[in-house]
Amino acid sequence: MVPPFQDIMLPLLRLVNQSNGQPVATRDAVQKLTDEMGLSEDDRTELLPSGRQSRFANRVAWAASHLRGAKILESAGRGLVTIAPRGKELLASNIEALNMKVMEQFPDYQKWRNLSGEKEEVAPEADETPEESIEKSYKALRAEIVAEVLARLKTCTPAFFEQIVVQLVVRMGYGGSLKDAGQAVGKSHDGGIDGVIKQDKLGLDVVYLQAKRWENTVGRREVQQFAGALAGQQANRGVFITTSDYSSEAVAYAKAVVTKIVLINGKQLAEYMFDHDLGVTSTLTLSLKKIDSDFFEEE
């Protein structure tokens, strides 16, 4: 398990102190603390939900930010820190724990938290960084909306379901225009649609598409029939979409056949709609920013 950012504060302080006054790059500290704290391979590679940064690197950065706010560490340039006199005093006192509650004794830290908004955003007992809290909330909201989108898909008419799939494949970059994709898709059949769409806007290659608005699990037989339909169309790739799910046998068969068959279940379908703004609308947009260290570097 990745340690909370407050548990990283003391090891980070000790690490910086070992540099004998030389600046330490936070990215180097991440690697050294990873080894020192004995993180497993999974913990080392675990990413934030956004996928842009490792969870541990994010927590090291926040630990460093709080230590600078308490004037325990000092900034020494872009991504660089050195130990401050207060940090040396704390280590000389053989401090056994360093966290937000301990640092509240310093007026500098109280002032920093008030100015930065940290008072409201991060509780002293918090284990997560603000980015983690935001992304966790976003992930929960996303899951809730995806579930509702799937529920709506299961109750719409076959004709409307056909329109939804056509719009989705176009938004994902397939099928050319809505008009082209609509003409390429065949008539509704058994609550689903079958058709051939362009793989790219130029129509250099095609993809055979089958979509079924089902409640029951799609088994091997249905996927095998789809593979046969592909062979009949002399197609070498196809996409099977369902509002339900696939049996393990169906998944294994799709992986085993020479023809490339992509299986999309109901949850994935709803997630694609969410990602491509189909059937959903944005109500609030937040832009997370970070300090531009280069801007403040004087020549």
Q: 98, 128, 158 — which closes off a domain?
A: 128
Cα atoms found within 13 Å of the Cα of residue 267, Cβ hemisphere only: 6
What percent of the chain has pLDDT above 90?
48
> 155 and 67 share a domain?
no
**Domain housing 22:** 5-128
98 touches 9 (CB < 8 A): yes
Sole residue written with tokens 């308490």 = 70
> 60 and 115 share a domain?
yes
266 touches 150 (CB < 8 A): yes
CATH number of 186's domain: 3.40.1340.10
Torsion of CA 241, 244, 246, 247, to 10 degrees: -160
> 81 and 153 share a domain?
no
Q: Is residue 141 part of a domain?
A: no
CATH number of 37's domain: 1.10.10
Sole residue written with tokens 């992930």 = 139
> 11 and 80 share a domain?
yes
Q: What is the pLDDT of residue 6?
A: 94
> 56 and 112 share a domain?
yes
Q: What is the pLDDT of residue 191?
A: 39
> 84 and 180 share a domain?
no
> 269 and 191 share a domain?
yes
Tens digit of pLDDT for each residue in 227-253?
888 887 777 888 999 999 999 999 999
34-66 core/surface letters (b: 16 or more CB in 10 A; e: else): beeeebeeebbeeebeeeeebbbbbbbbbbbbb
Q: Which of 204, 205, 210, 246 is nearest to 226 (CA)?
A: 210
Q: Which residues of the chain have pLDDT under 70?
A: 116-126, 182-194, 200-204, 290-299
Question: What's the whole-model pTM score?
Answer: 0.67
> 59 and 172 share a domain?
no
> 42 and 98 share a domain?
yes
The DSSP secondary-structure symbol of 65 reads H
Structurally, how many domains does the chain consist of? Answer: 2
CA separation for the pair 177, 212 (Å, rounded):
22
163-199 core/surface letters (b: 16 or more CB in 10 A; e: else): ebbbbbbbbeebbbeeebbbebbeebeebbbbbbbbb
Q: Is residue 105 part of a domain?
A: yes
Q: Which of 220, 211, 70 is nearest to 154 (CA)?
A: 211
CA separation for the pair 181, 165 (Å, rounded):
10
> 121 and 175 share a domain?
no
- Which residues does residue 242 pair with via DSSP β-bridges, in sequence order? 212
